Amino acid sequence: MTTELLVALIAVAVVVLGGGAALLVRRGRSELPPPRDLDAITEEVIDHPEHPEPHLPSEDEEPPFEEVPADEKASASPTTTVERPEPAQGRLVRLRARLARSNSSLGRGLLSVLGRADLDDAAWEELEDTLLAADVGVGPTTELVDRLRTRVRVEGITDPEGARTALREELITLVDPSLDRAVATTGADGKPGVVLVVGVNGTGKTTTVGRLARVLVAEDRTVVLGAADTFRAAAADQLSTWGQRVGVEVVRGPEGGDPASVGFDTVKRGIESGADVVVIDTAGRLHTKSGLMDELGKVKRVAEKQAPVTEVLLVIDATTGQNGLRQAQVFGEVVDVTGVVLTKLDGTAKGGIVVAVQRELGVPVKFVGLGEGADDLAPFDAAEFVDALLG
């Protein structure tokens, strides 16, 4: 082999390897998680192109590839997929029509009985039955009927409007406007607030974590999500999609990995990135109570090695009624629940479950789910809820 040939071969090898290395760098970049400040990064890429202008076909030249339809281009571009979620205030009022099914059986049922000229024993019994059928629970139902009966007698209420006012006031008292329904998302010592979301699988836990992230982003809070439900592969993917939509980072672990280590890593990442709030999704397999206790307890303990958990939200599916309530009680015994998210309230006639949940678990309902949309999670308010029920 001549020296010239050797030099030529080395030159070819350098060019080929160099090109390969450049490809690897580019591939590496495209595998990074979606950046936070996408506009700035897009500008940087436009300002400093890595490669010279590609050859663009002239008007009469056939394009070398198929045109991507405009709508596909939009969904492929990360800059266009970051959404600005709507603020959460006033959602219960906006979504009040979603309570229509509860409204017709509970609200209207009560009003139709109270509107009668003669409120005899049979009428009061009917009122009681309506409340029980709407899952209000025995204790609160007796309480409400007794108070209403007394008011009607003592105040001499005879007109439907007077009865409606008394019913509204008593229902609000029952739902309890004095409860603190704010979700504790503020951390101490410069650390993020840590929200743990627990509940039986299928109740809408992961959806709630995603929606909560949107509520926080709408309040200009910075968020990190943790996919600690490592047993359900789809849960982490689902959460990543929620995160991407609003430009929020999602920490996930290997499938079937230790949920507690994901919880730990999420809070660590939250601290490192200076996030305001960390929200952790957990697994809700109700196999044995002791298994659940070990797992959830460990997630909480290990996360708290980084920063205290400020809120534990229990997600309950409103359509599961008393059964759901019993399952929820198990969670209440395992972790110190500080608030309830009642999902699927749009799909049930049993809106009275709000009262029963609070009574049975001794914690306030803080949010209600009223649909399958991304922003269908409404902060709960006693008066607004009762007004929505009474139509």
Q: State the residues that interact with ligand GDP by CB under 6 A.
A: 199, 201-207, 235, 343-344, 346-347, 369-372, 376
- Looking at beta carbons only, is 180 or 372 nearer to ligand GDP? 372
CB of 347 vs ligand GDP, minimal distance in Å: 5
Distances from the Cα of 22 to the Cα of 34, 50, 232, 385, angstroms = 21, 10, 37, 59
HSE on the CB side for 224, CA within 13 Å? 25
Structure tokens at 83: 């959404």
CB of 386 vs ligand GDP, minimal distance in Å: 19
In single-letter form, the type of residue at position 381 comes to: D
- Looking at beta carbons only, is 125 or 372 nearer to ligand GDP? 372
Total residues belonging to the chain = 391
- Looking at beta carbons only, is 202 or 291 nearer to ligand GDP? 202
Task: Give residue for tokens 């209000």.
Answer: 136
Q: What are phi and psi of 224, to 5 degrees?
A: -125, 130
- Looking at beta carbons only, is 311 or 346 nearer to ligand GDP? 346
- Looking at beta carbons only, is 249 or 376 nearer to ligand GDP? 376
CB of 13 vs ligand GDP, minimal distance in Å: 52
Residue 158 CB neighbour total at 10 angstroms: 11
- Looking at beta carbons only, is 170 or 375 nearer to ligand GDP? 375
CB of 328 vs ligand GDP, minimal distance in Å: 13
- Looking at beta carbons only, is 150 or 241 nearer to ligand GDP? 241
CB of 373 vs ligand GDP, minimal distance in Å: 9
CB of 51 vs ligand GDP, minimal distance in Å: 43
CB of 209 vs ligand GDP, minimal distance in Å: 8
Output the CA torsion sign for 45, 47, 50, 51.
Answer: positive
Taking CB atoms, the residue at the shortest distance from ligand GDP is 369
- Looking at beta carbons only, is 106 or 283 nearer to ligand GDP? 283
- Looking at beta carbons only, is 141 or 343 nearer to ligand GDP? 343
CB of 302 vs ligand GDP, minimal distance in Å: 21
> Which residues does residue 316 pair with via DSSP β-bridges, in sequence order?
342
CB of 316 vs ligand GDP, minimal distance in Å: 10
